[in-house]
A = this chain, B = another copy of it.
Amino acid sequence: MNFFDRLADRIAATDSVVSVGLDPDPKRIPEHLTGHDLPRWAFNRRIIDATHEHAAAFKPNAAFYEDPDGWKALRETVAYARGKDVPVLLDAKRADIGNTARQYAGLLDDEVGVDAITVNPYLGRDSLEPFLSRADKGVFVLCRTSNPGGEDLQDLELASGEPLYERVAALVDLWNGNDNVGLVVGATTPEELQEVRAVVPDIPFLVPGVGAQGGDAEAAVEHGLADGVGLVNSSRGIIFAGEDQGEGFADASGQAAKRLKKRLNRYR
Contacts and interface: CB of A to CB of B under 8 A. Distances in A.
A83 interface: no
B150 A124 contact: yes
Contacts of A69: 68
The number of times this chain is found in the oligomer is 2
Contact of A123 (B75, B99, B100, B147): B147
Interface stretch (A9-17, A154-162, A253-261): A154-162
A5 interface: no
A82 interface: no
A201 interface: no
Contacts of A97: 145-147, 149
Contacts of A104: 63, 66
A142 to B, nearest CB: 6
Interface stretch (A44-52, A163-171, A214-222, A223-231): A163-171
Contact of A154 (B68, B122, B168, B213): B122
A125 interface: yes
A101 B142 CA distance: 15
